Structure 1
Amino acid sequence: MHVLVLGAGVVGVTSAWYLHQQGHQVTVVDRQSQSGLETSYANGGQISVSHAEPWANPSAPVKVLKWLFQPDAPLLFRPRLDPYQWRWALSFLTQCTSAKAAHNIRQMVNLGTYSRDCLQELRRDVGIEYDHLEKGILHFYTNPAEFDAAMEPARIMRELGCDRQVIDAEQAVQIEPALQPVRHRIAGATYTADDESGDARAFTQALAKRCEEAGVTFVYGTEVLDFDRAGDRILGVQVVNEGKHQILRADSYVLSLGSFSAILARKLGLFLNIYPAKGYSITVPVKNPDAAFNVSLTDDEYKLVYSRLGDRIRVAGTAELNGYTRDLNYTRCRAIVRRSAELMPEAAYWDKSEFWTGLRPATPSNVPYIGKSHFANLYLNTGHGTLGWTHSCGSAAALADIVAGRKPEVDFTFSGL
């Protein structure tokens, strides 16, 4: 069967890989000049099963109200005359109960654990290099209230098989000596030894190359505009390349266009509750290797993640719900630099930070859309929010099973829109 994958980010490329492994002819379409140039370009770099607590949780509404007029807030909602933004926000509020948060944690831990296993198997089989480290992820807290609030989600994750251990400041420093200068400020921490980190763009582009070598076709510089359809089947996708309009046809189609999936789906009458959560990152050269961390870190109070990528440091985080604009907000960029330099002043040349922003395709629950649509030959693999890198391999492996008519191996509620 010929499958056309729409999108060449980490989710689209992994989808292409697993579909090809199942014996399908695969074509990938993307508007960029190569793979991994949008949300996968400079994300936080974590393969983080332990980062499974959804934004929508019982404490979120009060925090969002507090942050509403704080320009450098970890989660910033900028109201717009956009009915999709408000529908997303109202849905977000409905997900903020303890019961729904626990359900969503289960979904994300199950998918994350499966996906991490798939990534490790793929890495062994294919031998891709992407500055990955298998040293775990350490969540540290400088606010005692935030640490206390993390206990229940951590307990739920442990029950689900994610070994997120609660530790004290002394143990945190033993695991990551780079935290020694701020040991007196750490209220507590959690550590998940099985989590990893690595450069998502390097992985995506290396896997795309392996896909091409195996026979997958990539059509770059091509924007998807609309679908041709008849009844409950997709007949083709309307695209434009260098000003020329054409229709690309296949037997089946996979929608993996990140935040833009929702816009394209609406042309088919499908409502995907995905809204762009603009995230920021800085990439900085290491200054003092002895002062720089090796264990990937999460600063939960400020919603920042830290990954060591060879001789570079990546710090990413915050979310801004402000439409599809990708303009840099330098207030938010400087807030990341300020917090990072405050914690680890000698680790990097913080004044040489490279700023980046990307649109994370967020659902109100943080749970992605994976599976069938109402159209017989259209499949979904989108809406992964901040965990696209973490969930990419597992999502793609499960989707390939669904396309083949098999039940995926992971316990997860798959889409059937």
Structure 2
Amino acid sequence: MSRTVAVIGGGITGVTTAYALAKRGVAVTLVERHRYAAMETSYANGGQLSASHAEVWNHKATIWNALKWMTRRDAPLLLNPTPGWHKLSWFAEFLAAMPDYERNTIATARMAIAARAHLFAWAEEEKIAFDHRRAGILHVYRDRRGFERAAGVSSLLAQAGLERRAVTPQEMRAIEPSLHGDFYGGYYTDSDSTGDIHKFTSGLADACARLGVACRYGAQVTALAREHGKVRVSMGEDSAVFDAVVICAGTASRAMAAMLGDHVNVYPVKGYSITVQLDDRASQAAAPQVSLLDDATKLVSSRLGEDRLRVAGTAEFNGVNYDIRADRIRPLLEWVEQCFPGVSTRKVIPWAGLRPMLPAMLPKVGPGKAPGVYYNTGHGHLGWTLAAATAEMVAEALLNSSAADR
């Protein structure tokens, strides 16, 4: 067993990785540049633990939508046309992965299903309250074309072991009576659930500390280097040597991998969310109880406790950019007003985060080229859904490698 392991990144993937290793008796140091865990992409996402949303994006429909929406500043998928080597190389790899669309979708769904058992067990063992709601996820479709395409996706999910059933507009409203609008049909996955990623990650980070994980918050990694069979992690003027390192650094993973001789082509895909405060009883009654995914707008919603509604979505290819744009937030507000007109939007908190996305839409989990270097990164829009499974996977890979070295 490796005696000391540095886990770099204190978001959902880093904290779950640190926890999985610590539970196996590994001496872990968690390195996070922010003052607390879960302060970037794991702060205010859509909230869905959604195996039903496991479809990868490497499909001609994604390409068509991206081209169709190029001139719309409020488009669900927005591509900044300014060229750049990183963006061009990422899209070249994205196109090259299109033949693997079906295989990668099935693999992602299987990981999502496996993640559930770990995450639920950890939350129970560590007594983490994270507004978990097991009410399923309802995908809604406004036209026949989208609904029929979703049938093909459902068949792939079924191959992974996930049941997602078609429902009529009448059945949709029985599942979620507060939903307004005209819909062709939907698909409902009752095994999916929702929860607050920030609350869960913060709670699990506290559990890591109780297990003896050394949490180095406010520590910016400036360099990584192989050194005499180990890995040196430099944090400004400070540095430490570890037997192994696991890179869970989100959009910073690409640069860190390059320091260690690996190509991990993560691109920062910006997503937006709003948190609607349900401060009055009328809004609480008018807000949905069931989590939704609207295919036409590419927006998701999750009820977090009684007094919050989270709405999230959009994908913006615009490099490292944290700006919260009013024209990108507006469609989220309008969606709430149209679909749930009884909900007050007087108090709304906007947010933007960068999803670490790999071209094939599968996370990189496991060893790098050099001994002692491991990755758990590139989960894209499914970090919350997949993290517990990939943490277990990388922990097992690291321990198995250490055992083979003895």
CA distance in 2, matches of 1:173, 1:216: 47
Q: Which residue of 1 aligns with 2:357?
A: 362
Structure 2 CA distance, aligned partners of 1:124 and 1:33?
26
> Corresponding residue for 2:102?
102
* Structure 2: tracts of 5 or more residues without a match: 402-406
Query: 2:225–2:260: 8 Å Cα contact kept in structure 1?
Result: no
Distance in 2, matches of 1:281 and 1:60, equals 21
Question: What is the percentage of aligned positions where both structures have the same residue?
Answer: 37
- What letter corresponds to residue 296 of structure 2 in structure 1? E
* Residues 194 and 78 of structure 1: CA distance in aligned 2, closer, same or farther (over 3 Å): same
Structure 1 residue runs of 4+, over 6 Å off? Answer: none
Contact 1:255–1:380 (CA under 8 A) maintained in structure 2: yes
1:413 corresponding residue in structure 2: none
Contact 2:106 2:159 in 1 (8 A): no
Residue identity in the other structure for 2:190: A
Secondary structure in 2 aligned to 1:323? coil
Find the residue that maps to 2:286 and give its secondary structure.
Answer: coil
Q: Which amino acid aligns with 2:4?
A: H
Partner of 1:69: 71
CA contact (8 A) 1:279 1:357 kept: yes
Query: Does structure 2 conserve the Cα–Cα contact (< 8 Å) formed by 1:6 and 1:255?
Result: yes
In the alignment, which of 350, 368, 378 is matched to residue 345 of structure 2?
Answer: 350
Q: Residue in 2 aligned with 1:192? A: 189
Q: Which among 312, 321, 338 is matched to residue 334 of structure 2?
A: 338
Q: Is the 8 A contact 1:45 1:198 kept in 2?
A: yes
Aligned mates of 1:200, 1:249 — CA distance in 2: 31
In the TM superposition, residue 148 of structure 1 has moved relative to its aligned partner by 1.6
Q: 2:323 aligns with which of 315, 324, 327?
A: 327
TM-score (norm 2): 0.95
Contact 2:23 2:211 in 1 (8 A): no
Q: Contact 2:231–2:245 at 8 Å: present in 1 too?
A: no
| Cα deviations by residue, 1:311-343 (Å, 9 ceiling, x for unpaired) | 100001001010001111210111111122111
Counterpart-to-counterpart distance in 2, 1:143 and 1:13: 41
Q: Which runs of 5+ in 1 are unaligned?
A: 407-417
Counterpart-to-counterpart distance in 2, 1:109 and 1:318: 21
Question: 1:92 & 1:309 partners in 2: Cα distance?
Answer: 34
Q: Which of these residues, 266, 277, 285, is aligned with residue 274 of structure 1?
A: 266
One-letter amino acid of the counterpart of residue 319, structure 1: A
Tell me which residue corresponds to 1:414.
none
Aligned residue for 2:224?
Answer: 227
SS at structure 1 position matched to 2:285: coil
CA deviation after TM superposition for structure 1 residue 292, in Å: 1.0
Q: Indicate whether 1:391 and 2:386 are aligned.
A: yes
Shift of 1:269: 2.7
TM-score scaled to structure 1, two decimals? 0.92
Does the 8 Å contact 2:8/2:246 carry over to 1?
yes
Q: Distance in 1 between matches of 2:69 and 2:346?
A: 27
CA distance in 2, matches of 1:89, 1:189: 31
Is 1:170–2:170 an aligned residue pair? yes
CA distance in 1, matches of 2:395, 2:346: 44
Structure 1 position 53, deviation (Å):
1.0
Select which of 46, 55, 58 maps to 1:56.
58
Q: Give deviations 1:344-389, integer Å, cap 9, x for gaps.
A: 1113x22321110000001122110000111100110000000000
Displacement of 1:82: 2.0
Aligned to 1:410: none
Q: CA–CA distance in 1 between the matches of 2:159 and 2:245?
A: 37
1:113 is aligned to 113
Matched, 1:255 2:255: no
Contact 1:60 1:96 in 2 (8 A): no
How far is the alpha carbon of 1:289 from its aligned partner?
2.0
